[in-house]
Amino acid sequence: MRPPPIPIPPRWMAAAVAIGLGIAGAMGGCSANASPPSTQASGAPSLPTSGTFDYQLGGTYDSLPDQQGRIDIVVRDAGAAPLTGAYSVCYVNGFQTQPDEAADWRDYTDLLLHDAAGDLIVDPDWPDEHILDPDWPDEHILDPSTADRRSQILDIIGPVIDSCAQSGFDAVEIDNLDTADRFPDIDRTGALELAAAYVDRAHTKGLSIAQKNAAELADAAHTQLGFDFAVAEECAAFDECAAYTETYGDRVLAIEYPDTLAEAGLDFADACTVPDRPPLMILRDRDLVAAGDHGYRYDTC
């Protein structure tokens, strides 16, 4: 899930340039209806740019209620099975731990971000309430600031990407690419190098790979790191849709949530009319519950 956006510190720009991954000062003039050249790895299945899309991280189901019916593109957690007949994207949290996996990382606390007192930091309670009970089931922050840490993180997350391929997924989305911008103690160069390693791992396994959020990184993520498409939460609410479509064209999966739209003074009908919006834009409930569960919401432009 997407945290509130935080402005990029100036030192991020210097770090990116230092490794040849600088964010372009101005993005190209590609239309959302004319995708720019793809960096798609040979053999990796390309994201369809039309059809019915669904985002199912809170519960899985094989068809949409009522008239929508068939699902053509779906995102599911790495622990779920892909949907037969659909282009299935596997969710992997590449820069933070999953909320129910805190205990699994207790033997690897040197790979996690700590505060000045040596306590583990948790998202999203940084910076005010980040001292944790070790049993707190929330997301710790991975710290890819050194080559050794990146190697060890890849030893843990890499097999998750591999399992997505083995299960039959077509692609992976890597969440929390923007962690280094939200947690200044993380080395941004190291975070980008870890992202590049995830891209290589996915492509080696025959998977496409999606950038998740971080609109300010879209150009570098695609042209330099090699991400094939984007998954964008709340791009209409935060006026970021053009940043994705100018870089990825139609290869963007966009999800809006009612609460954030309301805070922006919009409804979903407004979101569907924003300039350069991705064609594959949907409305989902914040908890992404399964169809039929209390609170379920789904709509499409």
What residues form DSSP beta bridges with 255? 233, 282
CATH fold for domain 48-95+142-300: TIM Barrel (3.20.20)
Distances (CA, A) of 11 to 22, 24, 109: 12, 15, 27
> Which distant-in-sequence residues (6+ apart) come within 8 Å of 257 by Cβ?
233, 234, 237, 283, 284, 285, 286
Percentage of the chain beyond pLDDT 70 is 81
Predicted pLDDT of residue 210:
98
Could you read off the pLDDT of 40-99 as tens digits, one per residue? 655 788 999 999 999 999 999 999 987 678 999 999 999 999 999 999 999 999 999 887
**DSSP tag of 296:** -
Terminal-residue alpha carbon distance, the chain: 21
Total residue length of the chain: 301
Predicted pLDDT of residue 290:
96
All structural domains of the chain with their residue ranges:
48-95+142-300
Percentage of the chain beyond pLDDT 90 is 64
